[in-house]
Structures are given as C-alpha cells and as structure tokens.
Amino acid sequence: MHISDGVLSAPVWIGGYVITAGIAAASIKKMKTEDMPKVAVMTSAFFVASLIHIPIGPTSVHLILNGLVGMILGPVAFVSIMVGLILQALLFQHGGITTIGTNSVMMGLPALAAYGVFNLRQRFHFRSNEAIFGAVAGAAGVFLGTIILAMLLVTTGSEFIGVAKYAALAHLPVMIIEGIMTGFIASFLMKVKPEILGRR
C-alpha cells in the first residue's frame, strides 16, 4: 500500500509532509525512554512485513500491520510507522521520497485509530474482549488505510478512480488476515504480558 514518486500531484504530497510533521511532533512528545525497545521491535516488524509484496493486477498487496502497531504502541505508533516507511524508501525504494509524508498519513493515522478502537474494550466485558477488539483494530487499520489511499489517488486525478477501486478490493483479504492475526496476538499478550496492552 505504498504510493510511489510521480503518482500524486505536488499539492497533495506537500500537504502530506505538513500533516506528517505535525502528527509526528505530537507523537514524539508522548514517547518515553522506556518505550524505545518496544518501538524498535514494532518498527522492525512493520518494516519486514511491508517488504513482501504480492502483485495483483495494476497494484500489489502485502501485510501492513498498522493496526497491530497501533494496538501495542498507542500514541507513538505514528513515529514507528513513519521511521519504517523512511527506511523502506531509502533502502529498498518501496514507495518514494516525495510520498513519505502521504504514506505516513495513509498508514499512521489508521494505526492511531486502531489504538482507539482497541481501547474501547475497556467499556465492554465480553468473554474474549482482547481477541475481539484486537481483531477489529487489526482490520480497521487496513480498512482505513485503504480509504485514505483511495482518497489520495482520487484527489490527484479522476483517472485514478479505477485503480483506487481495484486497490480497495485487493486489500480485502489482507484486512481479514490482519484482523484474525491481531486478535490472536492480543489474546496471547493478555495471557503472558498484559502490560504490553496497557494493563498493569
């Protein structure tokens, strides 16, 4: 779900950098020294997962893990994803330099939303609270990222509407897979290391 250089119009990718700078600054302020190892691990997981691409027609899909990153890192998830995207662009040319801002918005904002979704579990008392809300958070990360991708493409030109629709359909299986995976991880962490999920 990376947007490459030359796809977006200048006002769109410049706006992406402006938004990213603001959110990243706010996210960094919330980061504590003790968060650094956890941020490093999740950035690595995001970095590796996003490198494995499966081509489907005019687009390609890959695991995104932004919902998982958001669930575990909370408000500092945006910085983790931004750093992962910068490294991918510089080291492997995934995405582009001009689109680091828009790609960060596309994957980072849904991570923050996934964190909010996962925190809703505290208001409900289902038998498998963490698994249910973890699954919803994981799926929401992909779903919202796909919506932002479609919006970015459409704002650049109406000729991208078909590609936006195709990309959205191609990511439906990813949404389901990540939802299931994130739900299992949330359930497992709740049993072995609940403080990672914000329970102390």
| pLDDT score recorded for residue 53 | 64
CATH topology of domain 10-197: Arp2/3 complex 21 kDa subunit ARPC3 (1.10.1760)
Structure confidence at residue 196 (pLDDT): 85
Separation of alpha carbons 65 and 43, rounded Å: 10
What's the pLDDT score for residue 149?
86
The continuous run of DSSP H or E covering 187 comes out as helix 172-192
Residue type, 40: A
pTM: 0.87
How far are the Cα atoms of 25, 140, 175, 180, 183 from residue 146, in angstroms, in the given order? 24, 10, 10, 18, 20
Domain extents in the chain: 10-197
Q: Are 184 and 128 in contact (CB under 8 A)?
A: no
> Mean pLDDT per segment of 10 residues, for the chain of length 200 residues?
80 93 94 90 89 63 87 94 92 86 94 94 81 94 89 75 72 88 92 75
Task: List Cα–Cα distances, 49 to 15, 65, 85, in angstroms.
Answer: 27, 7, 12
What's the confidence (pLDDT) of residue 67?
93
Q: CB–CB of 91/48 below 8 Å?
A: no
Q: How far apart are CA 110 and CA 28, in angstroms?
A: 17
pLDDT computed for residue 117 by the predictor: 94
